[in-house]
């Protein structure tokens, strides 16, 4: 549909409901435990059985033989399905390693069997009786070692870019920096594990699961099971966190489907926490070399960013140089990414893939450069702002206010009180402040919805959009309420069901803007249907206070709907915008830390994020997204690291005791400010993504604050105390 109408005819611009701080409409269901997550789905008349997965105990090789006889004889066991017995299967389009089937082992804890029993405990006990004989092969598990053999991936991954002559400009620049930074493998570590219930009815399969992307999962499950996609009904109404780990079909859904077929019963499978780190995806580690050259006045003349990461054969890059192509001016530039083959578990998207680890390096390099130049790091970033794509200057940003974020943030945070490195001390604590820019691209995906108006005047939205804790239910209700001229309590929202129109889904921070734009489009259709039915002129029709008006006529919506109700359905899609304009989101992170002078322990004291991300659809849910992201960035800076066993090829710390995510006590004070802006090129909502922006740059701001406190520059995350002493 078209949306390039004057602002005054876009009902969203009224901002009667959209943009308001409405508490989440699913909040009560969640806080009272009535929101049904996948594993909890329960029909008292259904005899559920429980599946427990068995993960491979080697990283690479073959299963020579598998003895499941003892497991089959164990109490309560209904079925044991093994990967060799299932045989080779096609894998899903979005999966790098197969999820189940055949005798090849591609990574540690790849699923090789599922044991189904009457109870969860019986299934778990029997799973321990499965005996496997492996032919183990040698794998490569160390990125540092594999770096030299890393290759340039195919063009679809855009591994290199260049403008001007970097090498020459860098050679002649009066002030230069050439440093290498590393980021570790990280895990999504969401609260709700990957979990599914599968129930067969003849050839028809119903799956309750925990998925960010309903349609991707449905397609890939059909491929993996080799059945018709239309025969699968997939539901994921509530999700206890995803962070990218639930973008792509995972083994729980596949094992539940095979287990249910074998046991002839509906089967529940949740991945046990110890299996998750190695069975599912993770954010790949990176090695990043950054070179910057500048004039003495602070103008960057040369900037280069190279990144190395690894993945299983057929896998992809961690695109850590993305932001460096767009964030700062500089006539001479180059970026490059190289991919090594590693036989660790599959790498894939984790919140702000690319930019999150990329900014962990770039924004420390910028801080180092500012210091070499003797320029305030806020000022250095402002000097090098650009309003156009620096690699393709004919492409302006649709809207960019990094400078505004930096200025407002430094004023609100009290940045002028920052001292020289190591100069502030309170008792045993060294105090420091750090800043970093936030940057994340704004992605646009097609998104559809169906909106019904019934004879009670109630508006019901149906879309396969998901709510991974982000607030989708609420902003979708606000959008429909604004468009149809009703209050939010007159709107019902149904999400996460494959029977509904295909949405953008939840990923890449595109979900909020794109899914509400899809609801907008469906509401336009519904408004047209209402106007047409009443014989109203659709040019002057107004939807307000539960009524529809045209000229001097006004009809209550309930009456307009008639006994059978009315429906509008549409999908919104953007055209060639990315060719002409660059769409990105911007922010500034400010952090104050205290570092114990004796132990090297770092404590965060205050954090402030200023975000410029288009229209904020709901300041409560948007703020929650940003403070959650800032918390994740604190983990990235200080504690989160999957520890690689480079002899056996696995992540050793595979639980929440060993993989340390921040807790409340780690985060004393967070503030978020949103710039008052709209981006008319992003969608009729004029909003952009904010959920990943909040993570981008935070870890570097913390690293820079630690440097300011101590005078010690750490370039290898996480900044644990051993690296400071």
Tell me the catalytic residues.
692
Nearer to ligand MOS, 60 or 283 (CB): 283
Chain-centroid distance of CA 282 in Å reads: 12
Nearer to ligand MOS, 139 or 316 (CB): 316
For residues 81 and 113, the answer to whether their CB atoms sit within 8 Å is: yes
Least spacing, CB of residue 21 vs ligand MOS, in Å: 25
Nearer to ligand MOS, 390 or 697 (CB): 697
Strand partners, 179: 290
The residue among 364, 360, 301 whose CA lies nearest residue 175 is: 301
The span from the CA of 452 to the CA of 450, in Å, is 7
Nearer to ligand MOS, 301 or 625 (CB): 625
Nearer to ligand MOS, 329 or 627 (CB): 627
Nearer to ligand MOS, 212 or 710 (CB): 212
Least spacing, CB of residue 691 vs ligand MOS, in Å: 8
For residues 209 and 38, the answer to whether their CB atoms sit within 8 Å is: yes
Could you tell me whether strands 131-136 and 670-674 are parallel, antiparallel, or unpaired per DSSP bridges?
unpaired
Least spacing, CB of residue 316 vs ligand MOS, in Å: 13
Least spacing, CB of residue 496 vs ligand MOS, in Å: 15
Residue number, nearest CB to ligand MOS? 244
Least spacing, CB of residue 260 vs ligand MOS, in Å: 28
Binding site for ligand MOS (CB under 6 A): 212, 242-244, 247, 349-351, 353, 507-508
The span from the CA of 632 to the CA of 630, in Å, is 5
Least spacing, CB of residue 275 vs ligand MOS, in Å: 21
CA-atom Rg of the chain in angstroms: 27
The span from the CA of 695 to the CA of 672, in Å, is 12
Element (H, E) at 127: helix 120-127
Both tokens of 81, joined, read: 């399905």
Chain-centroid distance of CA 466 in Å reads: 13
Both tokens of 220, joined, read: 């890939």
The span from the CA of 317 to the CA of 319, in Å, is 5
Least spacing, CB of residue 352 vs ligand MOS, in Å: 7
For residues 280 and 651, the answer to whether their CB atoms sit within 8 Å is: no
Q: Where are the alpha helices (DSSP H) in 305-453?
A: 355-373, 377-383, 402-413
**Helix, strand, coil share of the chain (percent; to 5):** 30, 25, 45
Nearer to ligand MOS, 351 or 581 (CB): 351
Q: What is the DSSP string of 613-632?
A: -BB-S-HHHHHHHHHHHHHH
Least spacing, CB of residue 655 vs ligand MOS, in Å: 22
Nearer to ligand MOS, 267 or 445 (CB): 445
- Peptide bond between residue 201 and the one before it cis (omega within 30 degrees of 0): no
Burial status of residue 687 (CB atoms within 10 A of its CB: 0-12, 13-18, 19 or more): buried
Q: Where are the alpha helices (DSSP H) in 639-718?
A: 698-710
Q: Which residues of 569-601 are buried (b: 16+ CB within 10 A; e: fewer)?
A: bbbbebeeeeeebbbbbbbbbbbbbbbebeebe
Nearer to ligand MOS, 440 or 623 (CB): 440
- Helices and strands (DSSP H and E) totals, the chain: 18, 29
Least spacing, CB of residue 716 vs ligand MOS, in Å: 23
């Amino acid at each position: 549909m078209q949306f390039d109408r004057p602002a005054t005819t876009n009902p969203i611009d009224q901002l009667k409901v959209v943009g308001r701080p409405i508490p989440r409409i699913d909040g009560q269901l969640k806080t009272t435990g009535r929101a049904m997550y996948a594993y909890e789905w329960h029909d008292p008349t259904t005899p559920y059985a429980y599946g427990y997965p068995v993960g491979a105990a080697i990283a690479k090789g073959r299963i020579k033989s598998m003895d499941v006889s003892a497991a089959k004889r164990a109490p309560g066991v209904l079925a044991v399905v093994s990967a060799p017995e299932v045989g080779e299967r096609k894998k899903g389009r979005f999966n790098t390693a197969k999820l189940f089937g055949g005798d090849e082992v591609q990574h540690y804890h790849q699923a090789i069997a599922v044991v189904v029993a009457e109870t969860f405990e019986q299934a778990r006990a029997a799973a321990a009786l499965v005996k496997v004989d492996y032919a183990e092969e040698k794998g490569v598990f160390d990125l540092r070692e594999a770096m030299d053999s890393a290759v340039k991936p195919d063009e679809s991954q855009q591994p290199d870019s260049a403008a001007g002559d970097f090498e020459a400009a860098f050679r002649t620049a009066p002030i230069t920096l050439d440093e290498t930074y590393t980021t570790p493998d990280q895990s999504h570590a969401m609260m709700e594990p990957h979990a599914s219930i599968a129930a067969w009815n003849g050839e028809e399969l119903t799956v309750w699961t925990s998925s960010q992307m309903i349609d991707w999962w449905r397609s890939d499950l059909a491929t993996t099971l080799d059945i018709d996609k239309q025969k699968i009904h997939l539901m994921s109404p509530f999700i206890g966190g995803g962070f990218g780990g639930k973008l792509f079909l995972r083994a729980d859904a596949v094992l539940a489907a095979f287990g249910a077929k074998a046991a002839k019963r509906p089967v529940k499978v949740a991945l046990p926490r110890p299996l998750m780190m190695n069975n599912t995806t993770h954010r790949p580690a990176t090695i990043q070399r950054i070179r910057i050259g500048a004039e003495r006045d602070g103008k960057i003349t040369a900037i280069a960013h190279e990144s190395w990461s690894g993945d299983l054969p057929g896998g992809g890059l961690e695109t850590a140089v993305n932001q460096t192509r767009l964030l700062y001016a500089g006539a001479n530039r180059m970026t490059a990414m190289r991919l090594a083959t590693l036989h660790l578990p599959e790498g894939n998207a984790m919140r702000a893939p690319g930019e999150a680890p990329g900014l962990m390096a770039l924004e420390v390099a910028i801080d180092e450069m500012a210091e070499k130049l003797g320029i305030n790091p806020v000022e250095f970033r402002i000097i090098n702002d650009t309003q156009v794509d620096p690699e393709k200057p004919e492409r302006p940003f649709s809207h960019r206010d990094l400078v505004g974020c930096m200025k407002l943030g430094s004023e609100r945070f009290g940045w002028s009180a920052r001292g020289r490195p190591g100069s502030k001390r309170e008792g045993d604590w060294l105090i420091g402040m750090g800043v970093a820019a936030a940057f994340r691209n704004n992605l646009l995906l097609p998104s559809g919805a169906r909106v019904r108006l019934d004879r009670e005047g109630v508006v019901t939205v149906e879309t396969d959009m998901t709510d991974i804790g982000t607030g989708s239910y609420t902003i979708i209700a606000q959008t429909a309420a604004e468009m149809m001229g009703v209050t939010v309590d007159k709107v019902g929202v149904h999400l996460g069901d494959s029977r509904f129109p295909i949405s953008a889904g939840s990923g890449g921070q595109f979900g909020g803007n794109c899914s509400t734009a899809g609801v907008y489009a469906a509401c336009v259709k519904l408004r047209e249907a209402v106007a047409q039915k009443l014989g109203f002129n659709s040019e002057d029709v107004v939807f307000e206070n539960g009524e529809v008006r045209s000229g001097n006529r006004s009809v209550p919506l309930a009456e307009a709907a008639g006994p059978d109700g009315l429906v509008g359905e549409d999908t919104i899609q953007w055209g060639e915008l990315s060719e002409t304009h660059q769409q990105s989101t911007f922010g500034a992170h400010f952090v104050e830390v205290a570092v114990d002078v004796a132990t090297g322990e770092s404590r965060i004291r205050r954090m402030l994020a200023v975000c410029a991300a288009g229209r904020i659809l709901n300041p409560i849910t948007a703020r929650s997204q940003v403070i959650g992201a800032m918390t994740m960035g604190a983990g990235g800076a200080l504690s989160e690291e999957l520890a690689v066993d480079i002899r056996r090829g696995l992540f050793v710390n595979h639980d929440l005791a060993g993989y340390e995510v921040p807790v409340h006590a780690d985060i004393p004070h967070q503030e978020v400010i949103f710039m008052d802006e709209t981006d008319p090129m992003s969608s009729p909502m004029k909003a952009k993504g904010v959920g990943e922006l909040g993570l981008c740059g935070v870890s570097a701001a913390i690293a820079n604050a630690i440097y300011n406190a101590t005078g010690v520059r750490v370039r290898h995350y996480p900044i644990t105390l051993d690296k400071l002493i």
